[in-house]
Chain A
Amino acid sequence: MKILVAIKRVVDYNVKVRPTSDGKGVDIANAKKSINPFCEIAVEEAVRLKEAKQADEVIVVSVGADAVQEQLRTAMALGADRAIQVKTDAELEPLAIAKALAAIVEQEQPGLVILGKQSIDGDNNQTGQMLAALTNRPQGTFASELVVNDNDVQVTREVDGGLQTLSLSLPAIITTDLRLNEPRYASLPNIMKAKRKPLAVTELSELGIDAEPKVVITAVEAPAQRKAGIKVESVAELVDKLKNEAKVIA
């Protein structure tokens, strides 16, 4: 079985972004970029399945400008066998990305596609579900455990009320939650090896999909700032303030 993993290049999760001064976007040009943390977990899960001999090949794909090759190489250093860049300089929406990924799924016919549940820049949480719809495959979103069998995969999902387990027929689409695994670090020899692994480039335009934006960002503003608070000296003072000043407890 092949596993396809979709990864996104995003601003590193430690960076606190700010809106640009013209209020039209966010100031990220010089910010550190990384693999989206949920996608890193997706890569790790695929590599573990390969190590457990449940998969023969792990392919990573990213849709974006040439800069995404950096993250594709990182994913190969973590154990992916080869990479595909779907090349475009445009910022695509999840629907268009899902269409591009569906075209790659059509070509590669993977038994599992693993995505992150959410990209930490757009916070959309959409692409995996849309890819599942477009390929008419079952979806196991927000996965915290996977058990792969011959014809199906059991997915434990982190849902609001607790955990839910589904059985999905293969091929299937999975999106990862943080507890699925803890990604490894790439070793130096593996980073060197990754430089020689194959990285194919497919032009988005060759896939014949409609990538026109359907939703436009017209303004970006900073969230309401909280007023600076005070430090209290004791628990007694805290309780007094909550009762008599903030009036939030009786």
Chain B
Amino acid sequence: MSVLVIAEHDNKSLKGATLNTITAATQLSEQVDVLVAGTQCADVAAAVAKVAGVSNVLVFDSPAYEHQLAESLAPLLKEIASDYKYVLAPATTFGKNLLPRAAALLDCQPISDIIEVVDGTTFKRPIYAGNAIATVTSQQSKLLLTVRSTAFDPAPSQDSSAPIQNQDIAITNELSHFVGEQVAESDRPELTAANIVISGGRGMQNGDNFSLLYGIADKLGAAVGASRAAVDSGFVPNDMQVGQTGKIVAPDLYIAVGISGAIQHLAGMKDSKVIVAINKDEDAPIFQVADYGLVADLFTALPELNELL
């Protein structure tokens, strides 16, 4: 009844969401193998071996997996999945892109975005932008799941190291090629891992005004997020979007500035521990989920906040 977890990484470092996925995996089985497919990814494999709960690290190191395209990785998963009852991936853009493709090759119906393991065949997952939580059960011989990282703690590290097994199945793919990427560079914490998130919406009016948020974020060690409206208006890049169709965050403190609180935005942040809303409209729906609401013009409130921190 073992589990295979697909590690997310950039060939150099392991992405944090993998750790939350490993925690979900340990709730399903004591045998948790982690797949690391990439090129020159030994550092990633070594990092995975140090994660508590990992039984074996399976490394597929080949130029074929450099960009971890679904067209190469899905057939690889099909090859090796026979040894496993469960295959888990983080519910990130990486996992969402890959897992369903592999599932179809295995003739399995995957389950997306689980937030709770009820038992070995039963899981909870949000539907309708989190307005309802469905309990789903499946008797399939193999279960492919993506895991919402905010719902599981990250697996801790351990002193000992799990064995690393180098494997040599390389599946080349003629269908898709990597052309390039624009990776957002920031010294601030990653949005989905930060303890404090401060997000701006359409009320920020333009990208330059986001500097009002950056100053506060740097004082608080916070990540900066945004509503879809702020992304669509071109104030900030898409990787900052919080919501149903963006990133899901659940920090200790979430500060929403100039954000109205549409259900699609709430879907991405309403499990935060403490929510603060700053909005000049006292009837804005965001106040219905805010622990502390401040009805104020953000252009006076933010400089004042920066001053007092």
Contact = CB atoms under 8 A, between A and B. Distances in A.
Interface of A: 11, 13, 16-19, 26, 93-95, 98, 117-118, 120-127, 129-134, 136-142, 144, 154, 157-169, 172, 177-179, 213-223, 226-232, 234-236, 238-239, 241-242, 246, 248-249
A139 B71 contact: yes
Nearest to B181: A164
B309 A239 contact: yes
A160 B179 contact: no
Interface in B73-115: 74, 92-94, 96-105, 107-113
B104 A98 contact: yes
Interface of B: 10, 69-71, 74, 92-94, 96-105, 107-113, 122, 126-140, 174-184, 192, 196, 220, 228, 231-232, 237-239, 244-245, 247, 252-253, 263-264, 270, 273-276, 282, 287-296, 301, 304-305, 308-309
A123 B126 contact: yes
A162 B100 contact: no
B176 A142 contact: no
B294 A238 contact: yes
20 contacts: A16-B131, A129-B96, A134-B104, A139-B97, A139-B176, A141-B70, A160-B192, A160-B247, A162-B182, A166-B69, A167-B177, A168-B176, A172-B175, A215-B111, A219-B135, A221-B132, A229-B289, A231-B282, A235-B308, A246-B274
B238 A163 contact: yes
A158 B290 contact: no
A68 B244 CA distance: 24
A175 B131 CA distance: 24
B228 A18 contact: no
A229 B244 contact: no
Contacts of B131: 16-18, 26, 222-223
Contact of A160 (B92, B137, B174): B92
Given A18-B131, A95-B109, 9 more contacts: A120-B128, A126-B110, A162-B239, A178-B228, A216-B136, A226-B275, A230-B291, A230-B292, A238-B305
Given A26-B127, A162-B182, A249-B253, A16 B263 contact: yes
A232 B292 contact: yes
Nearest to B112: A124
B113 A223 contact: no
Nearest to B179: A165
A238 B244 CA distance: 28
Nearest to B289: A226
B290 A229 contact: yes
Task: Tell which of A144, A154, A165, A213 has the most Cβ of chain B within 10 Å.
Answer: A165
Contact of A242 (B138, B292, B295): B292
Task: Tell which of B134, B228, B296 has the most Cβ of chain A within 10 Å.
Answer: B134
A221 B133 contact: yes
A242 B128 contact: no
Task: Tell which of B71, B100, B176, B184 has the most Cβ of chain A within 10 Å.
Answer: B100
